[in-house]
Structure 1
């Protein structure tokens, strides 16, 4: 038996032990209500079940009179205890002057919709009335379900001490998803000061627009801030990077708002890209080369290039996430607009002693980033404009040409990345207008290696271009 079931059973046992119903009435009085009695009773309080709808109240009675009788329960209660409820205190103060009231008798309607258990429709009301007599809140509220059952009745009867006890219990313990939904429904019924702690758990605080947002940049939502922090931790803050990155990747994939994921990944990508640009710019800066001596310059360059490699690795992980989630459109646009970064990379790659001694993996890392983004464009996973496709090839084709020349003699499996990027670039070129394709194809002649058989992709690209260029112009006037 689960803990919650044991707690609810215990609550039911306590109620039965305190005020147990009498033996079943004889057959002649079978329609009379059952009754419970509390100590020092001087009033009779009848609980009766309201119809769930007006149609039920107007329905024809059944042939069996017991089936037609409205369920009810008589409680012998203490008027002194009832005064702890502001509802009953007002009712009792008015009752003595009311000519329509029956002396010593009260009636309380229980909505049928509030009866969570058809077998015990009055259970929660009886438990609240018991607390009016005993104030044993610790004994009655043992689980969130207990508090959520009692709280609506305590609010209805204006039993402030019970409301406070229920709220204090709910604020201090964990909830299930179902219990959280009930808390959200009940919170608007509570006074603002009592509901504040509960609402703080189920919704973020309101954000006040201030001078800090005057620049037009909207503040991050709590979800965006959380995802941003997770990505930052996956990249920088945890020693087990692979496991942490896999977990964050799963959270990003399962997150319901694709717009939120898109925005957070774009911010992280832009941040890493700016870092790489800054580090590569320092390497390529002529002022830096003149300002410091060779030994100090080499030490600083080594540090900068190693940091650049690390950040390119982070970029590649972000690119993988963006492509997998089909939110890489902005990343492709940014990457296509990096002609200056591509120029700095060419300077580094042409300085063979520098990158081979310090960062031998940099050429392939850059090639993999470009390949992942370009391939998503070719497959249609990322849709970008013709201008972006053209700039992507124009900016990074020179880097590819340098990479393929310096990598192929070193590692065959790495050179396959260059071969694949060649094919993808040629496919992107095939999506461009004839004049733009002509300009870029002429820069692809380096794809031909030792003989024609080594470059079928280049042969096919040129045949396609000549076929299109030889076609008669097409236009509306023709």
Structure 2
């Protein structure tokens, strides 16, 4: 943006600013204060007549209205700068163009803008201005060049109108308007307008595109003005993880419609941009759920008997229900981890559960759980199957020690479940068979000496008909083939 005077003083040289467009001319004013369009203006470029006269402030009323030639002492020409121009002359006749707009303003009103206040200071314009013979007023003639990056003439006209009114809210009533006006207000150092635009943007929602425009203007605001705008889009480092933690906890513990909430959070996790953050959150949630299940079964398996029998029974029921509820949450978390390929930590944790699996075996040998939480074994074994199957499939690359412990600690739990489930449901039989096959596949990845002891425990997989357990037959045949292998001399 470039401004200059055309009066008795020496001309001011303005910096070069480029532009890519020209608009049609508006070269005369109407008696009601609105700007009239030249009759030669092409219909496709006719300027909108939405620039109606704004209510005047007391200062504007004393000076005269916007674009009032009878009382004005400033003639301001707005024009688009040409990219090819190295500078803009102060001679208004030198750059007469169809896109020029000439308006009549008042210096005392323009001084509300610090930019114009500096322009009209005695130091800059001691001898500027031309005495008008008809009104005996000193008239200042200024040129305001507008670059392609500083907005349109329409936006500049609107900001100049706002100098004549205190009623910003009637004109700045949308994010688009505020974003169009704010750059001009910043250039003209119109502080009241800047403050209103900022307060308006603070208080209303933005679209994604509007948010980008807001952020592009933040560097031109001071710290106090930009604080609230940045607070909306500049989170703390751990804000996203804290949000995910809260969503997961709400979905699995507190939400009344848990199924829908879990499905929605699962989608958020799939779409979340940072796998590292999602992994940290899921690992933490899994660890907490596992801790609750372990503690509940530990208290159930080794109760501290206090009070009467009924009180003890009630506590035991509560322990089993707590284990069952958090076991389901844990199963959902395992599904999310495997879906996202983030279950390696969970596998390590699950493979290192000597005391937990021992408590489970003690609890499942007791008949009390059958009438209280009959689905508990299936929930625990589904967690085991999903993690073990990911290991066997190579989705999770687990170290030999992890694979060894996974089978060593959880194979006895599977055996106890089979022994204490009579009669077994078809779905449970299917789960047990799948877990058997998965354990045998993992055993096949272990050294012969490690696999030997584990395979001996797998005899419980056998049935009356050998044809019903081909997975067990294959596993033993593989082991014996390897155990009887005689290396060739060159090996």
Give the TM-score normalised by structure 2: 0.80
Alignment partner of 1:107 is 2:121: no
Distance 2:72 2:480 in 1: 104
Aligned CA distance change for structure 1 residues 401 and 26 (closer, same or farther; 3 Å): closer
Instruction: Specify the alignment match of 1:86 in structure 2.
Output: 114
Aligned CA distance change for structure 1 residues 319 and 26 (closer, same or farther; 3 Å): closer
Instruction: Specify the alignment match of 1:273 in structure 2.
Output: 290
Alignment partner of 1:232 is 2:261: no
Alignment of 1:58-97 (within 5 A): 71-93=99-121, 94-97=123-126
> Paired residues, what number?
423
Instruction: Specify the alignment match of 2:445 in structure 1.
Output: 431
CA RMSD for the aligned pairs?
2.8
Distance 2:444 2:97 in 1: 82
Distance 1:359 1:83 in 2: 80
Partner of residue 320 from structure 2, selected from 305, 316, 324: 305
Post-superposition Cα deviations, 1:397-456, rounded to whole Å, max 9, x if no partner, equal: 000111122225231221210110000111111222222222321221111122211110
Give 1 or 2 for the bigger CA radius of gyration. Answer: 2
Aligned CA distance change for structure 1 residues 345 and 193 (closer, same or farther; 3 Å): same
Alignment of 1:165-184 (within 5 A): 165-184=196-215
Instruction: Specify the alignment match of 2:268 in structure 1.
Output: 251
CA contact (8 A) 2:79 2:100 kept: yes
Cα deviation for residue 255 of structure 1 reads 1.3
Alignment partner of 1:153 is 2:187: no
Instruction: Specify the alignment match of 2:485 in structure 1.
Output: 471
Distance 2:144 2:326 in 1: 70
Cα deviation for residue 285 of structure 1 reads 2.0
Alignment of 1:213-232 (within 5 A): 221-232=238-249
Instruction: Specify the alignment match of 2:35 in structure 1.
Output: 20
Instruction: Specify the alignment match of 1:218 in structure 2.
Output: none
Aligned CA distance change for structure 1 residues 339 and 113 (closer, same or farther; 3 Å): same
SS in 2 for 1:432: coil
Instruction: Specify the alignment match of 2:218 in structure 1.
Output: 187
Unaligned stretches of 5+ in structure 1? 1-14, 28-35, 59-65, 116-120, 208-220
Partner of residue 451 from structure 1, selected from 459, 465, 468: 465
Cα deviation for residue 153 of structure 1 reads 0.8
Cα deviation for residue 247 of structure 1 reads 1.2
Cα deviation for residue 98 of structure 1 reads 6.5
Alignment of 1:364-375 (within 5 A): 364-375=378-389
CA contact (8 A) 2:119 2:125 kept: no
Comparing 233-242 and 265-274, the one that deviates more: 233-242
Higher relative contact order (CA 8 A, sep 6+): 2
Distance 2:443 2:111 in 1: 85
Alignment partner of 1:347 is 2:356: no
Give the TM-score normalised by structure 1: 0.82
SS in 1 for 2:347: helix
Partner of residue 346 from structure 2, selected from 324, 331, 352: 331
| Greater helix share, structure number | 1
Aligned CA distance change for structure 1 residues 124 and 147 (closer, same or farther; 3 Å): same
Instruction: Specify the alignment match of 1:63 in structure 2.
Output: none
Post-superposition Cα deviations, 1:373-418, rounded to whole Å, max 9, x if no partner, equal: 1112222322222221111111100001111222252312212101
